[in-house]
Structure 1
Amino acid sequence: MQPDTDYTIIGLRIKTWWAMFFVFCLAPLIHPVVSLLAIMTLAFFSLKEYFSMIRSRKADRRLYLWAYLSIPFQFYWIYIEWYGMFIVFIPIYVFLFLPLPRLINKGTVGFMRSVSSTQWGLMLMVFGLSHLAYFQFATPQYGAGLVLFLVVLTQLNDVIHYLVSLYFGKRKVVPTANLNLTWEGFAIALIVTTGAAYLIQLYLTPIGPVFGIFSGLLISLSGFFGSLTISVLKRDLLIGDGHKFDALKKKYLSRIDSLTYTSPVFFHMIRYFFEFM
Structure 2
Amino acid sequence: MIDTAVQWFQTLVHRTPEAFWQVMGGVLALLLVASAIAAVLRRRSPGATVDNLVARINAWWAMVAVLGACFLLGKIATLVLFAAASFLALREFVTLTPTRRGDHLVLVLCFYVAIPLQYFLIGIDWYGLFVMCIPVYGFLLLPAVSALAGDTEGFLERNTKIQWGLMLTVYCISYAPALLLLDIPGYENGNLLLLLYLLLVVQLSDVLQYVFGKLFGKHRLAPSVSPSKTLE
TM-score by length of 2: 0.72
Q: 3-state DSSP class of the match of 2:167?
A: helix
- Report the number of matched residues: 180
Quote the residue 1:205 is aligned against. Answer: none
Q: Does 1:72 align with 2:116?
A: yes
Quote the residue 1:54 is aligned against. Answer: 97
Tell me how far apart the structure 2 counterparts of residues 49 and 10 of structure 1 sit (CA, whole Å).
23
Confirm or deny: 8 A CA contact 2:102 2:149 kept in the other structure. no
Q: Does 1:43 align with 2:86?
A: yes
Quote the residue 2:70 is aligned against. Answer: 27
Unaligned runs of 5+ in 2: 1-46
Tell me how far apart the structure 2 counterparts of residues 47 and 107 of structure 1 sit (CA, whole Å).
22
Q: Percent identity?
A: 31
Tell me how far apart the structure 1 counterparts of residues 180 and 132 of structure 2 sit (CA, whole Å).
20
Quote the residue 1:191 is aligned against. Answer: none
Aligned with residue 138 of structure 1, among 182, 185, 189? 182
Quote the residue 2:11 is aligned against. Answer: none
Tell me how far apart the structure 2 counterparts of residues 105 and 48 of structure 1 sit (CA, whole Å).
21
Shift of 1:46: 1.1
Shift of 1:21: 2.6
Unaligned runs of 5+ in 1: 185-277
Tell me how far apart the structure 2 counterparts of residues 73 and 105 of structure 1 sit (CA, whole Å).
24
Shift of 1:6: 4.8
Shift of 1:131: 1.3
Q: 3-state DSSP class of the match of 1:99?
A: helix
Quote the residue 1:164 is aligned against. Answer: 212
Q: 3-state DSSP class of the match of 1:61?
A: helix
- CA displacement, residues 39-58 of structure 1 (integer Å, 9 cap, x when unaligned): 11111111111111112222
CA RMSD for the aligned pairs? 1.7
What letter corresponds to residue 152 of structure 1 in structure 2?
L
Shift of 1:183: 0.6
Confirm or deny: 8 A CA contact 1:27 1:35 kept in the other structure. yes
What letter corresponds to residue 119 of structure 1 in structure 2?
Q
Aligned with residue 140 of structure 2, among 96, 108, 111? 96
